[in-house]
Structure 1
């Protein structure tokens, strides 16, 4: 069996590569290919259950009369799981590297099992949220225990945005509304519009507030990016509705109706459990949003689509997203790390996303890279050189932070000159 399919454009390819094709002969193994990760996807629901799990751990600690320190520390197991256990899993299990042959993608896309797995995130997440509210109200917890539980719920909310991201790209109304409901927990409903109709259009350009720039640290990125995403999403919907002669506050406005779901959910929880839960609801939302935005920060750092002669940007290709193909993180984040294929095929379901050899590669999984981004000098030391190596030390190919551009040009032009001297000498 053979198949002809497009070859992606990489940093080392020519412009004609995008239209080139190659013949691929399916091997015997490919002809009988099965998804080895099929039942591992059940573990993608585990982040939704983080508060439920740590509540169980806390109760067990009480039952065995564990030292009080461990009982209090158990409420902070959410961030420990995300930033310690998952990176350990990445180290132990290593890279994934397996792609489904394209001939099997339609079969994968239509298998309902994968959809059910992604749908299950919401009811488990909702159960976790209700448990948190009950614990904050009736659990007799110290304030720092409540803070730990809020932080852990924030991990669930942040990864919940990834689950909503998976559903929000799909064409069915049920999946899109489910995405909005999930986004209501961290109060980030505008993401549904902003990501799909804003970020995906302007990705890897200076016009995109979600694409981080070389020399920009994660904290200034958050302060720049988050405030600009809301008006962009609103304006997208305002423009869309105006074409149908509808007002911007119409319930068809996908930003407005997503915010209304948030209001209904939060008001219902406050009525049910009291105003005392509100500070912890805000904390979990802030942490969940920060987790998502740190991921956004690292996904396109410094990468730039070049402008064509007609003033438009070149088509988005694999070279405009940083990929990471660590197996453990892939399972827990619905293969979000295969980000290049996601931008090339936004409606493709998570189980079908492919690892692209032409995309630039992060040195570690997302959780590890978030930790690096939290320490800007560490991030710059790792990523600036990696970015320049990918662009063959041509600083003009990168998306530069305007206030750092002159300094970056001076530094990397000097490095490029040294590289050229080394090549000539060799």
Structure 2
């Protein structure tokens, strides 16, 4: 079952923590490089290949939660015991962030779309564990409605550098999530400060978690947890940058956009990357069928296709001139509003 492979991403961080020293960072980084090479070596799937859903493919999405949270708890225990220096704690935060951002938030994304309440709860627990709970509200109730329009904070504009995108995405996502909750509560006759505000509840849960970490593992524990959260968030938003970069829904009238379609998300057919990211690179299908489990997603013929897998695309996005050179020629031409009206 290839979807169990992502669970192995716990190993480099755990092994690095056991070996200490430079291994803390070297092993996770080397693993990421190997992941990129494996993605290139295993090639691409046939886009016409039909999905083969099986209940076992959901099991890894459940197992990842205790693995990630358990590893985080063990590392905090080591810090509590005084076995980890401040520098090592920062390195461990970076290492865990690669796992909690690369696999953990991807898993959370999968789980918060599920119908079962307990799966959505698991997804939200993973988001609290990276200080990004509001992603649940913004992604499900905001991004899926506004993707590929200027109103979406996590759709990268054509020619926009990743480093200009990240502040807008991170800040805009929170503002969007709060606004979504405020409007929902207002329709029910409640204030935005109501206990039913899911964003507020997430903030309180995260604040309580940081307080508990500070009491248990001190400022070194807080620094470790904050670094792993920051790395995970940056990795998530870089993937967001890749998923919709430069793709725009046509404005059919001022402020009115065409219906969302497969052409508004980048797909990747790289086999290994799809296994490691729970089919997130079948992104067009996910947007068209957000309630489908990952192993039921398909390659959409109308979707633009990246020439590389998402793991390598993240690296390319960090080098804007190279990213633009590879991706911009694959963007569809812009159609001005006047041409549509005519």
The question of a shared fold, defined as TM-score above 0.5 by the shorter chain, is answered with yes
> Which among 36, 51, 55 is matched to residue 87 of structure 1?
36
Gaps of 5+ in 1: 1-38, 60-70, 399-426
* Counterpart residue number, 1:119: 62
Q: 2 CA distance for matches of 1:353 and 1:258?
A: 30
* Contact kept? 1:44, 1:332, Cα under 8 Å: yes
Residue correspondence of structure 1 range 252-263 to structure 2 within 5 A:
252-263=196-207
Three-state SS of the structure 2 residue aligned to 1:304 is coil
Three-state SS of the structure 1 residue aligned to 2:56 is helix
* Counterpart residue number, 2:276: 332
* Counterpart residue number, 1:359: 303
Give 1:49 shift: 4.6
* Counterpart residue number, 1:134: 77
1:97–1:271: structure 2 CA closer, same or farther, 3 Å change rule?
farther
Q: 2 CA distance for matches of 1:189 and 1:80?
A: 29
* Counterpart residue number, 2:187: 243
* Counterpart residue number, 1:22: none
Deviations 1:324-366 (A, max 9, x none): 1211111111110000000000111011111122211111111
Question: TM-score under structure 2 normalisation?
Answer: 0.91
Gaps of 5+ in 2: 338-342
Specify the structure having the higher radius of gyration (Cα). Answer: 1
* Contact kept? 2:247, 2:265, Cα under 8 Å: yes
RMSD: 2.1
Taking CA–CA contacts closer than 8 Å with sequence separation of 6 or more, which of the two structures ends up with the larger relative contact order? 2
Three-state SS of the structure 2 residue aligned to 1:362 is coil
Residue correspondence of structure 1 range 14-93 to structure 2 within 5 A:
39-56=1-18, 58=19, 71-82=21-32, 84-93=33-42
Q: 1 CA distance for matches of 2:254 and 2:87?
A: 57
Give 1:310 shift: 8.1
* Counterpart residue number, 1:266: 210
1:251–1:216: structure 2 CA closer, same or farther, 3 Å change rule?
same
* Contact kept? 1:304, 1:397, Cα under 8 Å: no
Alignment size in residue pairs: 336
Q: 2 CA distance for matches of 1:132 and 1:76?
A: 17
* Contact kept? 1:44, 1:331, Cα under 8 Å: yes
Question: TM-score under structure 1 normalisation?
Answer: 0.74
Give 1:313 shift: 1.2
Runs of 4+ in 1 over 4 A off after TM superposition: 98-102
